[in-house]
Amino acid sequence: MNIIKLNAISSTNDYLKELNAATPAENFTTVVAEYQTAGKGQMGAKWNVEPGKNLTFSVLIKDVLPDVAGIFNLNVAVAVSVVQALNSLALQEINIKWPNDILAGSKKIGGILIENAIKPDGSIQSVIGIGLNVNQTDFNGLPKASSLAIVSDKTFDKEQIMMAILNALRANVEFVNNNAQQLLDTYHSLLFKKNIPATFEKDGSRFVGIIQGVSASGNLIILHENDKVAEYGLKEIALLY
């Protein structure tokens, strides 16, 4: 496995995209940095964490998704891989908040940013960015953030955790095309607030509903109080927690 280790970089996602554009890199090429100066989160947010204490890395996946239809399956494979890797290191009560936040209990310990590019032949190349809060213990002003060190009262070897995630990802990527349902079933079993009443915000107003699951395309399926079931995309709705 080709693993490039950097000290500081703007964003491991951007670095890997540029590297692969300059000279095509092999599948699973990984870039890990001690510190990102312009780390990117989902929906244009920033990903700012304490230098040296956390995992920030990106993995190139190519020749896996035949077309855009499978993009959510890859998202599922990545989220499930992170949870399975943490479970394999004896970390329990790790779950997934739709679509791909990693929670310990009800606090966010990690996030995933997948950037896809459609190649001229229609195939997809994906840069999978994973940020995992490992040994940081101070999240001043961020009451919903946590880390592995906080939840387990230990410090961790970041490299060991990254290798566990990469190994789980290699195994699960095999299922993306030929057993996506098994991955989705596992994802559902790990889904935060599934089957229990939760509060959502849509267009500035709040409502209570029950998450039934996630569709194959990645929409959240919610049972409303009037017994109607509706599907929502990522930009349409927020789960409050």
Rg (CA), the chain: 18
Place of tokens 């939840």: 151
Residues 62, 19: Cα–Cα separation, whole Å = 14
Sign of the four-CA dihedral 44, 211, 73, 12:
positive
CB of 121 to ligand BTN, least distance (A): 26
Which token pair is 4?
A: 């490039």
Binding mask 8-27 for ligand BTN (x = CB under 6 A): ---xxx--------------
In the bound state with ligand BTN, the residue whose beta carbon lies nearer, of 11 and 73, is 11
With binding defined as CB under 6 A, does residue 84 bind ligand BTN?
A: no
Residues 192, 187: Cα–Cα separation, whole Å = 10
CB of 4 to ligand BTN, least distance (A): 13
CB of 226 to ligand BTN, least distance (A): 32
When binding is defined by CB under 6 A, the residue of 17, 25, 29, 39 that contacts ligand BTN is 39
Place of tokens 């239809």: 69
Positions in 115-144 near ligand BTN (CB under 6 A): 129-131
CB of 112 to ligand BTN, least distance (A): 6
CB of 180 to ligand BTN, least distance (A): 22
Count of all residues that appear for the chain in the document: 241
Residues 38, 33: Cα–Cα separation, whole Å = 12
Residues 182, 126: Cα–Cα separation, whole Å = 21
When binding is defined by CB under 6 A, the residue of 104, 112, 161, 162 that contacts ligand BTN is 112
Q: Which residues bind ligand BTN (CB under 6 A)?
A: 11-13, 36, 39-42, 45, 47, 56-58, 101, 111-113, 129-131
